[in-house]
Amino acid sequence: MKTLTGQLKQAGISLLEVLLSLAIISIVLVMAVQWFGKARSDQQLNIVRTFIGADMAAIQAYGINNNGDYTGLDWKPLVDNGYLTTDTKNLNCTDGGCTQVTPWGKDVTIGGQQTAQPTLSIPLPNSNLCQNLVQSYGAKYVACDDAGTATITINGVDG
């Protein structure tokens, strides 16, 4: 007669093991989603920084070539006169004119054409992104409103 000297081997996995595995997987997924969301936001802000750099250079060149007169400054003259190209920017040009669009689908506008300090108005999704631009360029060039719109003064604010 045979006697059982050990425990029987368990076949399969227990419910506890399944639940622990699911908990670990869900934690990893939550962390990954948060990280990818921040990475996407950072990438979009870097695109805006690229806009600002190219736009500032183009607008300053426009002003120099027009003896400091920014009257008529808009996206279309900047593109038509070769200061900006639609190849490297989110500039959409039609027969009616050009618009620059942020990664969030909002239009960037040019203001201050009647002064020696033209501006760019860039609507951002939140004020934290605008504050990030202030840290990048300084308060002399960037001002934020409560909605998160960044106003970039091309030649800086006096004082």
The pLDDT value given to residue 113: 80
- This prediction's pTM: 0.75
pLDDT tens-digit readout, 10-36: 677 888 989 999 999 999 999 988 888
Q: What number of helices (H) and strands (E) belong to the chain?
A: 3, 6
As a whole number, mean pLDDT of residues 116-123 equals: 91
Helix axes 127-137, 15-65, angle to 10 degrees: 50
Mean pLDDT across the chain, nearest whole number?
Answer: 86
Q: Which helix (H) or strand (E) holds 52?
A: helix 15-65
pLDDT tens-digit readout, 65-91: 998 888 889 999 999 999 998 876 688
Sign, CA dihedral 27-30-36-42, equals: negative
State what percent of residues in the chain have pLDDT above 90.
50
CA angle 81, 83, 87 (to 5 degrees): 100
Cα–Cα distance for residue pair 47/77, rounded to 1 Å: 22
The pLDDT value given to residue 87: 73
